[in-house]
């Protein structure tokens, strides 16, 4: 029995009852056959069948007691009924019951709302059980070729011959490592892969080179990019302000390492959905969760607005939708997000299914998370380094103590004088500190304190002096707000006549320390001065507002109108002698000695002290000290991988709250089905579950409402990696083909639904998917090896007129597809060929190829200010810091992926803007200059040949040698290099 039938058991009850029952006989038919179009949202033909009121609102659709007068019956009855528009007519029995129901008065309870309940139609290629496919028996041995040949033969296509060895090695090197082969590699391969030798020898040589590239660390650096495109990975939040995610990169390194270590695919998937639950205590279990968090995040909506407001709840909803879409588009090639406002229009996915997934992610947000876990070996190594560091600091102390003694002997007199000055002239440390608010738990809390000047007057200026807190080294500036405003009014409640005197609310302010903050006041007169802190200062884990003194000064700077006047505050922490509201205007405050003759003397004495200290330090001692500092620095660097708090930006249910971004602590937010996807129209409450898209999988994960957040994700991970999940294996097999051959077997890799493109070679896809699933290692590398060892992979990309007449798009693989370098491959090639690339700088924090301006509020990423000769940026492009709002201009023009969305296939556009970029970009200029130098040094006698071997993997022909050589002689080798970097031959792989 199909698994949808439980939905309306009434359907199978005997229909002998003479009495027609709306609930039993009519509603199920409407819900299964009519509501899809005739609902409130679509109301096709202006007819909505959701409620009695709506349906009867149509003038003559249903005429109670008069079935034959009812338009509805005319539409569904007769020999060629007009409705349902798509699909089979209703059965005779169904039509007759609807007639009887109308004739009997069309009873329909007011409160009964019908919903679309189409049966799930699972009859679709991607949802069928994955059975595998037998390899066609023909004269071809390699299974991939056997499938391809079977189709070529059927289509009467004749495959072209194998590509030239030089083309082959360049193709293989780029496809597996993203870099050009070095001249040595190219020569080595061409020598070994001799056309004269036997097929077996050549096959062995090919396999050896395939393995060499698969085992190289560059393999992961190339293939991880495919995955990061899907995972919409970037290192800023996007949206407004576009702040940085300094701890996103460990996920990128995790993906690279997973490819290099050939992690079994199911495990790779599980780690990215619920690694923390399924692999507790293992860093990869947390690192993988970077996948869920990799997409854009609305900082303002989450951090500044918060869940108390509708806009904040909309942000949470969009956030979950983003995670859900990523999981299902990437792992399942399913467009689940289409079921947000209505049931999926084309695939058997209901709104309920979609909102069950919201429940799975109801407790998670995106935030930094500790992933560190050390092995015993690493712990030992750490101990050794720490011990060395300790020894060094003991030695350092010894040197310093000895020095201090000598210094002390000579400066004690000076020190005494310094103390005297301080005592006499300032740095008063009296106990009347000032005003102190009560503590708050979040910084963006408003607190105010105000002074009543006693009468409406016109002070010329207001001075704010920060509080001094002598304990814990807080010192001056204690509690001074990061953001605040100063207002004047004649209304003690500040409800009217409010005059803004000073506005520092839009950006965090530097702490004034002991400096007085002064502001002009003038007319009109005011009686009350109020200071309102809008972002509090942090103290430990709390936030507060403190102020040492407030003065309102007259024009001559003599009279302080505020002195000993009445002070009120929103709240106050009255603490013995130290903190009282009245201390704000008591004339007592901390005065760092900062002006006048005594100050000059103080500075002179301090300078003298420094001079003596410098004198006492001998060059030997200084040298040793420097050595120690250098050793310490090196050791600390070594310690970095073993530090206890390594963070990754990941899915997270438990973090330290900030502003209005509050952790759920694993307590799921209530999730409701949302009518039309609108948070203001919540429907029934939802429990976690996934899509019942194949037999044997249920809808909900838990029977009761008590479930653990982590367990819900773990259930989802188990669901995804089930052996009988027909989608996941087909999805990844299709991608592996695409990433090897350049285009997928099924043309819409993120959508295997009815709106997707059917696979060109269904049997081959079936075979590959089953093969990966049944491989005990679920090895990605083994699959790639299988694909690239085929003859299909090694074919020439040459045109053939006869074949093209039958299959111009090369859908059947009678030749290889010529492809353009990706944006990253282009940049990496510039660096590699010119010799600038630093290949050993793998992993770790990303390099910037921009300069950040205004980092605190909304960072500006200024690419044009970056120096292309900066060696820190001479790393592979996968290690660049990926910005969402301001994508890298050169790479964007070259069609690199937009990290706001999962990108399964990149565009390959050609435009004059691209030509301008490749010809004039500063990086191209810098690398051409460098390449030119390299050529002049390495091969002054045959620049062109060496240039071709490095850049194109082949020697030049006579014409090329002549043309480029003459250009080089006239304009220099760098100018020739610039031409080379723009050749079609450089940018396209045959």
Partner 1 sequence: MGGMALGSLFSRDGLLGAPGIVQSLHHKPRAKRVVQLFMAGAASQVDTFDYKPLLQKKDGQPWDPGEEVELFQSRPGATFASPWAFKPYGRSGKMMSDIVAPLGEVVDDLAFLHNVVGKTGVHSQATLLQTTGFNFPGFPSAGSWVSYALGSENDDLPTFVVLPDHRGFASNGAKNWGTAFLPALHQGTIIRPGNEKPIADLRPPESSFITPHSDRAGLHLLNRLNASHAAEREGDNRLTARVRAYELAGAMQLSATDALDLSNEPQYIKDMYGLAPEGPGVDDSVMNVKAETEFFGRKCLVARRLLERGVRFIQIWSGNDNGFPRRNWDSHENLKRDHEPLALGMAHGSAALIKDLKQRGMLDDTIILWTTEFGRMPCSQGSSGRDHNPFAFTNWMCGGGLKPGTYGESDEWGFKPRDRSNYSTVYDIHATILHQLGIDHKQLTVRHNGIDRRLTDVHGRILNAMIG
Nearest C-alpha neighbor of 720 from the set 170, 272, 281: 272
Q: Which stretch binds partner 1 (CB under 8 A): 79-87, 300-308, 636-644, 765-773?
A: 300-308
Q: Is 975 in the site for partner 1 (CB under 8 A)?
A: yes
Q: Is 314 in the site for partner 1 (CB under 8 A)?
A: yes
Q: Which stretch binds partner 1 (CB under 8 A): 434-442, 466-474, 565-573, 979-987?
A: 979-987
Rounded least distance, CB 857 to partner 1, Å: 5
Q: Is 885 in the site for partner 1 (CB under 8 A)?
A: yes
Closest to partner 1 by CB, 496 vs 556, is: 496
Nearest C-alpha neighbor of 346 from the set 114, 120, 82, 674: 120
Closest to partner 1 by CB, 538 vs 854, is: 854
Rounded least distance, CB 139 to partner 1, Å: 29
Q: Is 327 in the site for partner 1 (CB under 8 A)?
A: no
Whole-number Å distance between alpha carbons of 406 and 414 = 14
What sign results for the dihedral spanned by CA atoms 465, 469, 474, 479? negative
Q: Is 909 in the site for partner 1 (CB under 8 A)?
A: yes
Single out the residue of 309, 410, 723, 872 in contact with partner 1 (rule: CB under 8 A).
Answer: 309
Q: Is 506 in the site for partner 1 (CB under 8 A)?
A: yes
Closest to partner 1 by CB, 176 vs 324, is: 324
Whole-number Å distance between alpha carbons of 608 and 7 = 90
Specify whether the CB–CB gap between 575 and 473 falls below 8 A.
no
Rounded least distance, CB 155 to partner 1, Å: 18
Q: Is 901 in the site for partner 1 (CB under 8 A)?
A: yes
Q: Is 318 in the site for partner 1 (CB under 8 A)?
A: yes
Q: Which stretch binds partner 1 (CB under 8 A): 281-289, 371-379, 453-461, 888-896?
A: 888-896
Nearest C-alpha neighbor of 865 from the set 883, 877, 850: 850
Residues in 740-759 at the binding interface with partner 1, rule: CB under 8 A: 748, 750-751, 753, 755-756
Single out the residue of 87, 920, 962, 969 in contact with partner 1 (rule: CB under 8 A).
Answer: 920
Residues in 474-493 at the binding interface with partner 1, rule: CB under 8 A: 485, 487
Q: Is 180 in the site for partner 1 (CB under 8 A)?
A: no
Single out the residue of 915, 937, 938, 969 in contact with partner 1 (rule: CB under 8 A).
Answer: 915
Residues in 331-370 at the binding interface with partner 1, rule: CB under 8 A: 335, 338, 341, 346
Whole-number Å distance between alpha carbons of 282 and 375 = 10
| DSSP H or E segment with residue 478 | strand 475-478
Locate 95 and state its tokens: 């039509």
Dihedrals phi, psi of 794, to nearest 5 degrees: -90, 5
Whole-number Å distance between alpha carbons of 119 and 141 = 45
Q: Is 908 in the site for partner 1 (CB under 8 A)?
A: yes
Single out the residue of 505, 559, 625, 664 in contact with partner 1 (rule: CB under 8 A).
Answer: 505
Single out the residue of 98, 887, 946, 953 in contact with partner 1 (rule: CB under 8 A).
Answer: 887
Residues in 223-252 at the binding interface with partner 1, rule: CB under 8 A: 238-242
Q: Is 53 in the site for partner 1 (CB under 8 A)?
A: no
Q: Is 301 in the site for partner 1 (CB under 8 A)?
A: yes
Nearest C-alpha neighbor of 902 from the set 247, 178, 353, 294: 294
Dihedrals phi, psi of 2, to nearest 5 degrees: -60, 150
Closest to partner 1 by CB, 518 vs 892, is: 892
Q: Is 852 in the site for partner 1 (CB under 8 A)?
A: no
Tally Cβ neighbours within 10 Å of residue 174.
Answer: 22
Specify whether the CB–CB gap between 171 and 990 falls below 8 A.
yes
Specify whether the CB–CB gap between 813 and 979 falls below 8 A.
no
Residues in 922-951 at the binding interface with partner 1, rule: CB under 8 A: 922, 925, 928-929, 932
Q: Which stretch binds partner 1 (CB under 8 A): 155-163, 197-205, 305-313, 511-519?
A: 305-313
Three-class secondary structure of residue 934 per DSSP? helix
Whole-number Å distance between alpha carbons of 31 and 117 = 5
Single out the residue of 208, 507, 610, 626 in contact with partner 1 (rule: CB under 8 A).
Answer: 507
Whole-number Å distance between alpha carbons of 531 and 464 = 9
Q: Is 726 in the site for partner 1 (CB under 8 A)?
A: no
Size of the site for partner 1 (CB under 8 A): 104
Locate 648 and state its tokens: 């990754």
Rounded least distance, CB 287 to partner 1, Å: 25
Closest to partner 1 by CB, 538 vs 857, is: 857
Rounded least distance, CB 873 to partner 1, Å: 16
Rounded least distance, CB 818 to partner 1, Å: 6
Whole-number Å distance between alpha carbons of 729 and 746 = 13
Rounded least distance, CB 222 to partner 1, Å: 22
**DSSP per-residue letters across 446-477:** -EEEEEEEEEEE--SEEEEE-EEE-GGG-EEE
Whole-number Å distance between alpha carbons of 389 and 622 = 19
Q: Is 985 in the site for partner 1 (CB under 8 A)?
A: yes
Helices (H), 290-371: 290-293, 299, 310-332, 351-360
Q: Is 535 in the site for partner 1 (CB under 8 A)?
A: no
Q: Which runs of E-coded beta strand occur in 495-615? A: 499-504, 517-520, 526-535, 537-539, 542-544, 546-547, 549-553, 566-569
Single out the residue of 902, 931, 935, 954 in contact with partner 1 (rule: CB under 8 A).
Answer: 902
- Tracing tokens 């022909």 back to the chain, one arrives at 957
Ramachandran category for residue 132: left, alpha or beta (phi over 0 → left; psi -120 to 50 → alpha): left
Single out the residue of 149, 773, 876, 921 in contact with partner 1 (rule: CB under 8 A).
Answer: 921
Q: Which stretch binds partner 1 (CB under 8 A): 278-286, 366-374, 632-640, 893-901?
A: 893-901
Specify whether the CB–CB gap between 719 and 693 falls below 8 A.
no
Q: Which stretch binds partner 1 (CB under 8 A): 359-367, 595-603, 766-774, 913-921?
A: 913-921
Rounded least distance, CB 917 to partner 1, Å: 5
Closest to partner 1 by CB, 132 vs 512, is: 512
Whole-number Å distance between alpha carbons of 929 and 934 = 9
Q: Is 873 in the site for partner 1 (CB under 8 A)?
A: no
Rounded least distance, CB 158 to partner 1, Å: 15
Three-class secondary structure of residue 391 per DSSP? helix
Whole-number Å distance between alpha carbons of 929 and 937 = 13
Rounded least distance, CB 336 to partner 1, Å: 10
- Distances in Å between the Cα of 259 and the Cα atoms of 216, 251, 268, 399, 770 are 11, 12, 9, 50, 20
DSSP 589: -
Closest to partner 1 by CB, 402 vs 911, is: 911
Q: Is 865 in the site for partner 1 (CB under 8 A)?
A: no
Q: Is 869 in the site for partner 1 (CB under 8 A)?
A: no
Q: Is 623 in the site for partner 1 (CB under 8 A)?
A: no
Residues in 274-293 at the binding interface with partner 1, rule: CB under 8 A: none
- In SS3 terms, 14-38 reads as CCCCCCCCHHHHHHHHHHHHCCCCC
Closest to partner 1 by CB, 686 vs 964, is: 964
Whole-number Å distance between alpha carbons of 951 and 934 = 12
């Amino acid at each position: 029995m199909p698994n949808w039938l439980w939905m309306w058991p009434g359907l199978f009850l005997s229909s002998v009852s003479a009495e027609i029952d709306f609930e039993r006989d009519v509603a199920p038919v409407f819900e299964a056959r009519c509501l899809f179009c005739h609902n409130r949202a679509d109301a096709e033909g202006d007819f909505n069948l959701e409620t009695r009121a709506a349906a009867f609102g149509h003038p003559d659709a249903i005429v109670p007691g008069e079935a034959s007068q009812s338009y509805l019956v005319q539409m569904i009855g007769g020999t060629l009924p007009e409705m349902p528009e798509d699909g089979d007519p209703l059965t005779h029995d169904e039509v007759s019951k609807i007639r009887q129901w109308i004739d009997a008065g069309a009873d329909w309870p007011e409160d009964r709302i019908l919903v679309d309940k189409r049966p799930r139609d699972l009859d679709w290629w991607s949802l069928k059980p994955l059975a595998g496919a037998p390899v066609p028996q023909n004269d071809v041995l390699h299974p991939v070729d056997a499938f391809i040949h079977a189709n070529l033969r059927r289509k009467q296509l004749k495959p072209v011959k194998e590509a030239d060895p030089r083309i082959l090695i360049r193709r293989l090197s780029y496809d597996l490592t993203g870099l050009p082969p070095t001249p040595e590699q190219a020569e080595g391969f061409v020598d070994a892969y001799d056309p004269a030798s036997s097929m077996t020898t050549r096959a062995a040589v090919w396999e050896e080179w395939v393995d060499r590239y698969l085992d190289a660390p560059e393999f992961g650096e190339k293939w991880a990019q495919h995955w990061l495109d899907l995972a919409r990975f970037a290192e800023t939040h996007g949206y407004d302000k576009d702040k940085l995610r300094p701890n996103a990169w460990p996920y990128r390194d995790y993906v690279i390492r997973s490819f290099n270590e050939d992690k079994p695919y199911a495990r790779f998937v599980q780690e990215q959905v619920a690694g923390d639950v399924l692999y507790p205590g293992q860093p990869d279990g947390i690192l993988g969760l970077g996948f869920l968090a990799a997409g854009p995040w609305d900082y303002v909506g989450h951090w500044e607005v918060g869940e108390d407001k509708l806009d904040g709840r909309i942000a949470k909803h969009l956030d979950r939708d983003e995670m859900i879409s990523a999981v299902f588009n990437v792992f399942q090639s399913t467009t689940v997000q289409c079921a947000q406002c209505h049931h999926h229009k084309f695939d058997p996915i209901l709104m309920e299914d979609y909102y069950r997934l919201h429940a799975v992610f109801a407790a998670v947000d995106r935030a930094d998370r500790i992933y560190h876990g050390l092995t015993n070996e690493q712990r030992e190594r750490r101990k050794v380094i720490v011990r060395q560091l300790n020894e060094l600091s003991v030695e350092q102390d010894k040197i310093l103590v000895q020095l201090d003694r000598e210094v002390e002997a000579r400066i004690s007199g000076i020190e005494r004088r310094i103390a005297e000055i301080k005592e006499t002239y300032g740095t008063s440390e009296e106990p009347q500190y000032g005003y102190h608010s009560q503590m708050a738990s979040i910084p963006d809390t408003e607190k105010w304190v105000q002074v009543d000047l006693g009468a409406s007057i016109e002070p010329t200026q207001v001075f704010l002096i920060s509080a001094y807190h002598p304990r814990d080294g807080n010192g001056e500036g204690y509690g001074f707000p990061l953001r605040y405003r100063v207002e004047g009014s004649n209304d003690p409640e500040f409800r009217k006549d409010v005059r803004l005197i000073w506005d520092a609310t839009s950006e965090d302010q530097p702490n004034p320390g002991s400096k007085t903050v002064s502001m002009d006041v003038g007319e009109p007169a005011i009686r009350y001065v109020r200071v309102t802190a809008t972002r509090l200062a942090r103290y430990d884990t709390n936030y507060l507002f403190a102020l040492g003194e407030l003065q309102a000064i007259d024009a001559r700077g003599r009279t302080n109108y505020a002195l000993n006047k009445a002070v009120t505050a929103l709240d106050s922490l009255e603490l013995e002698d130290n903190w009282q509201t009245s201390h704000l205007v008591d004339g007592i405050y901390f005065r760092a000695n900062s002006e006048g003759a005594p100050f000059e003397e103080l500075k002179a004495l301090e300078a003298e002290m420094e001079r003596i200290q410098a004198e006492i330090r001998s060059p030997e001692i200084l040298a040793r000290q420097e050595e120690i500092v250098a050793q310490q620095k090196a050791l600390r660097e070594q310690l970095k991988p073993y530090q206890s708090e390594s963070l990754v930006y990941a899915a997270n249910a438990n973090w330290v709250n900030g502003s209005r971004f509050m952790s759920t602590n694993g307590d799921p937010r209530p999730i409701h089905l949302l009518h039309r996807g609108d948070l203001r129209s919540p429907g029934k409450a939802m429990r976690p579950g996934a899509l019942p898209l194949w037999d044997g999988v249920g809808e909900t994960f838990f029977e009761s409402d008590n479930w653990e957040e982590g367990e819900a994700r773990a259930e989802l991970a188990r669901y995804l990696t089930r052996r009988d999940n027909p989608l996941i294996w087909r999805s990844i097999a299709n991608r592996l083909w695409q990433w090897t051959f350049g285009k997928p077997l099924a043309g819409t890799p993120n959508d295997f639904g009815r709106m997707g493109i059917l696979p060109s070679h269904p049997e081959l896809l079936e075979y590959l998917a089953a093969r990966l699933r049944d491989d005990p290692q679920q090895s990605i590398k083994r699959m790639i090896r299988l694909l690239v060892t085929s003859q299909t992979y090694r074919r020439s990309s040459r045109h053939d007129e006869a074949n093209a007449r039958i299959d111009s798009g090369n859908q059947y693989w009678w030749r290889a597809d010529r492809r353009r370098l990706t944006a990253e491959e282009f940049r990496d090639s510039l660096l590699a060929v010119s010799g600038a690339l630093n290949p050993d700088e793998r992993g770790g924090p990303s390099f910037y190829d921009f300069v950040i301006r205004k980092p605190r509020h909304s960072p500006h990423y200024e690419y044009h200010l970056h120096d292309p000769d900066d060696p820190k940026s001479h790393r592979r492009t996968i290690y660049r810091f990926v910005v969402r709002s301001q994508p890298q201009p050169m790479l964007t023009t070259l069609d690199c992926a937009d990290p706001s969305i999962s990108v399964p296939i990149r565009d390959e556009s050609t435009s004059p803007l691209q030509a301008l970029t490749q010809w004039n970009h500063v990086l191209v200029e810098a690398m051409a200059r460098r390449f030119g130098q390299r050529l002049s040094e390495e091969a002054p006698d045959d620049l062109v040949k060496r240039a071709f071997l490095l850049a194109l993997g082949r020697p030049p022909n006579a014409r090329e040698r002549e043309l480029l050589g003459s250009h080089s002689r006239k304009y220099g080798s760098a100018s020739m290099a610039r031409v080379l970097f723009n050749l079609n031959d450089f940018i396209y792989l045959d």
